[in-house]
Chain A
Amino acid sequence: MTAREAAQPPYLRIERLKKQFGAFSALKDISLEIFPGEFVCFLGPSGCGKTTLLRAIAGLDIQTSGRIFQADREISDLPASQRDFGIVFQSYALFPNLNVAANVGYGLVSRGLPRREIATRVDDLLKLVGLPDSGLKYPAQLSGGMQQRVALARALALSPGLLLLDEPLSALDARVRAYLRIEIRRLHERLGVTTIMVTHDQEEALTMADRIVVMNEGVIEQVGTPLEVYRKPASAFVADFVGTTNFLPAVVLRPGVARFGSVDLACDIDIQPGPGNDVTLAIRPEDVVVRNVAAGAANSLAVRVADVEFLGSFCRVQLAHDGDKTMVLADFSINVVRDLGVVEGMELLVSLPPDRIRVFPAAAGQP
């Protein structure tokens, strides 16, 4: 990604975007760059402003202030009809009284193209989304997943420079969703069209995106590759929203060491607070090590197994530390559980690897 960033100028540049709804700020000073051919996901809980940002990019609901450039052209104040994008909505918004071919060819007809050319293009598009023989059917006769693919073909018909997907998979059941995830990704790789997808589903974002933009309360919390966002969450919010995280209250002892309960934990303290300040340590359940932890080893923690929840390929274990005052969640593989004979009530020694601990200001106030 960094290579790409260096190589070419951004395709879409968003500068200091704000959106007010009365007294409510839906977007607070958002700046963002998206590069040609990227697949970017806007991820966040409902009401975080991700859809508002998408609709501002499309020109459907214009921002209160701020600028947007697309392919070096300022589009900040252009109406949707003068911007270059295709869009797919969660509701599909297929025209119910037009058949599939007419839906896909809807924008082509207005271009005044010859009928045969339109028919060929529509056929190509339907083949592209894997519905080669559905042209004469009406939307109501198709399944949800098929309707969504028709909507995708319609959005791509005019070969837009930017493809916007507004929660395109939320209305579908799990199996279809997983399948369409791969399909959309494959389509993106084939066409190379710069794509922005809005979603509240972290799994969707992690599996599909080149880069994820995590948003909360009108602010961008973090922009990064799925791996960066998951491994190195920039804030307690991101750590909590993407994946599962343990938050452990601690006090900074000295640079590189924080005290959690009665245990001193080595960690990379990359924030400012000096000794004596409260911090929150974050560690993912799967990063808790249980094999080969010697007594007295650095970052080791004596715990008692309070609960074992079987989740198929692994077990999520609640570890009580310091009496029952703090609970640490850990994901143990079935192997580990079997080898160590992990059962409720068992006393264990676990370690929290320093390079897997993230440190956030305590005020970030996660649970």
Chain B
Amino acid sequence: MTQAGASTATELPLTRRRLDRDDILMRVGICVFIVWMLVTLILPLWWLLSKSFEGQKGEFVGLANYVQYFSTPSLLASLWNSLFVALLTTAIVLPLAFVYAYALQRSCMRWKGLFQALALIPILAPSLLPAISLIYLFGNQGLLKEWMFGVSVYGPFGIVVSQVFYCFPHALMILLAALSLADSRLYEAADALGASKTRVFFTVTLPGAKYGIISAGFVIFTLVITDFGIAKVIGGRFNVLATDIFKQVIGQQNFQMGAVVGFVLLIPAVVAFMADRIIQRRQVALLSARAVPLVPKPVARRDWTLFAFCAVVGGLIFGILAMAVWASFVTRWPYNLALTLNNYKFGEFDSDGWAAYGNSLELAVWTALIGTVVVFLGAYLLEKTRAFAAGRLLAQFMAMLPMAVPGLVLGLAYIFFFNEKGNPFGFIYATMIILVVNSITHFYTVSHLTAVTALKQLDAEFEAVSASLKVSLFRTMGRVSVPVCLPAVLDISIYLFVNAMTTVSAVIFLYSTDTKLAAVSIINMDESGFTAAAAAMAVAIVATSASVKIAHVLLTRRLERTTQAWRRR
């Protein structure tokens, strides 16, 4: 061991590598990325935090707002309500989604493709859709009102049921991935040792999916606690954190208290995020390269039981979806059930009419286009920049942070930051630009991780080869990395499109009269009592997302046939 202390006077000086043009460009790129993240995420959050320490006139009041928050019983109640609803939803969704995922991955039941597609549809819908559906099903004039035995759908019941519908596909996707990997040799070994089916399930299957289950739990919890739309539409007088922020800011114009609630909301989201990160870090690859993939064998009784389960769950999902679609075409619920297109004449219910839908479409397209470029470039810079550890680490942190920030909090932070007098970026306030920037930032992390995963699958020496051939890194990115990652690039753009199309919470504070969005107009029309029109708008959003998704699937298939010919042997 040569030690630094033992070095003699003849020690040669440390070598500092000279930078070539690519190095400089990439470092500049990372710095630009850091500045971008500063402006779109860190500074707004900082402004939000400092706002929560200010009085009505902008003077510093220390913790006074927080003291007031925690001594106001009605506000504190919302915190408990939020936690209660989030935990209850998690407890319901996790087992349902696990069995559903198990049926799809580990059984030989029929119609797997259909069940999978059905269960994933809610992702394409705004969270408001199940809430509206439930009002039609169990509301004051609901189709199945008698089933409620006098319990009002407005309140925790409605919220939890809607949240279950809304969170189910998110949990399902994670669990599908967790259960997709299994080493059949483990099962054969357990079988050979004479373990019962139950014992095998608890000692092999469940531990193998452990990290997926934990991750799904955190995702559900965070989704529920940060969601705004469902509580707004069906919460009634049952207040939660998300609706409190809205009331403080929009209702009472009490921005300082809004900031406080925003930070209170940020805490559980950040804690869930960090806990998940820490636990996932302990995950080691359970599957060695020599694992033999498990292929389920038909077992009639198990398969039909799981089929029945999926039929019930899938049926409920379909029912909720179908209710919204049906309601959107009904003339006057429940008195005149004749079908009509009148509910889609949005101009008659809301001053913006179809323009709101157009705005949403515009937002989704810009978010997908610009977001994909920003995300992929950012991920490429982070993955491929040589040395520059400090910059990369900072950028890495900033890319992961948006996952922990609820949309509502980010939107509120944007108001404070971009509305500040003298902010050079102030001009984007109340324009489409701020909505696009907000959406890209809000949905950044998942897209970033998709891009990183795709880039990691490329041979790590591509850049070394191109340097030895004196070819610029950026040329290799264009000629090799992007084409090879094209499927992932498409995935990212679709993810951004669908989320920008359906989100409410991220944009509720940021739209202006010129840029009102479809999801916002659902809330407005619902508030004004035009529930059918609200349902119609929700259906319009689902239809749009679904068409884009279907186009994506077809396009990906085509791509695989034509430009990706090299993948085939």
Contacts and interface: CB of A to CB of B under 8 A. Distances in A.
Contacts of A86: 468-469
B16, B20, B23, B465: residue with the most chain A Cβ atoms closer than 10 Å: B465
A213 B396 CA distance: 40
Interface in A79-98: 79-83, 85-87, 89, 91-93, 95-98
Contacts of B16: 77
A140 interface: yes
A17 to B, nearest CB: 9
Contacts of A95: 462, 479-480
A154 B476 CA distance: 15
Nearest to A160: B468
A107 interface: yes
A65 B11 contact: yes
Contacts of A139: 566
Interface residues of B, number: 37
B57 to A, nearest CB: 53
Nearest to B12: A65
B569 A60 contact: no
A79 B11 contact: no
A106 B471 contact: yes
A111 B472 CA distance: 11
B481 to A, nearest CB: 9
Contacts, number: 114
A89 B464 contact: yes
Contacts of B564: 97
A191 to B, nearest CB: 17
Contact of B568 (A83, A97, A140): A140
B398 to A, nearest CB: 25
A89 to B, nearest CB: 5
A79 B484 contact: no
A225 to B, nearest CB: 29
Nearest to A55: B464
B470 to A, nearest CB: 6
Contact of A158 (B19, B470, B479, B484): B470
Interface string B1-34: 1100000000111111111101100000000000
Interface string B37-67: 0000000000000000000000000000000
Interface string A195-229: 00000000000000000000000000000000000
Given A77-B16, A82-B20, A93-B461, A140 B567 contact: yes
A231 to B, nearest CB: 31
B262 to A, nearest CB: 41
Contacts of B475: 110
Nearest to A67: B12
B484 A96 contact: yes
Contacts of B568: 140
Contact of A96 (B466, B468, B471, B567): B567
A98 B483 CA distance: 10
Contact of B15 (A65, A81, A89, A138): A65
Contacts of A59: 17, 467
B465 A81 contact: no
B146 interface: no
Contacts of B13: 65
Given A18-B2, A138-B565, A81 B22 contact: yes
B459 A93 contact: yes
A140 B15 contact: no
Nearest to A110: B471
Given A62-B17, A65-B15, A81 B470 contact: yes
Contacts of B11: 65
Interface in B525-569: 564-569
A92 B483 CA distance: 19
Contact of B19 (A63, A79, A99, A111): A79
A154 B469 contact: yes
Q: Select the residue from B472, B480, B568 with max chain A CB neighbours within 10 A.
A: B480
Interface in B324-383: none
Nearest to A63: B15
Q: Which of B2, B464, B480 has the most CB of A within 10 A?
A: B464
A59 B2 CA distance: 23
Contact of B465 (A64, A76, A93, A160): A93
Given A77-B17, A110-B471, 12 more contacts: A29-B2, A58-B468, A64-B14, A65-B12, A78-B17, A79-B19, A79-B20, A80-B467, A81-B468, A99-B566, A106-B466, A140-B567
21 contacts: A15-B12, A25-B2, A62-B15, A65-B14, A66-B15, A77-B18, A80-B467, A80-B468, A81-B467, A82-B18, A91-B461, A93-B465, A98-B479, A99-B566, A107-B468, A107-B469, A110-B469, A110-B472, A138-B566, A140-B566, A158-B469
A-B interface, 8 closest residue pairs, ranked by CB to CB distance from nearest: A107-B469, A80-B467, A93-B461, A138-B566, A79-B20, A62-B17, A81-B467, A93-B459
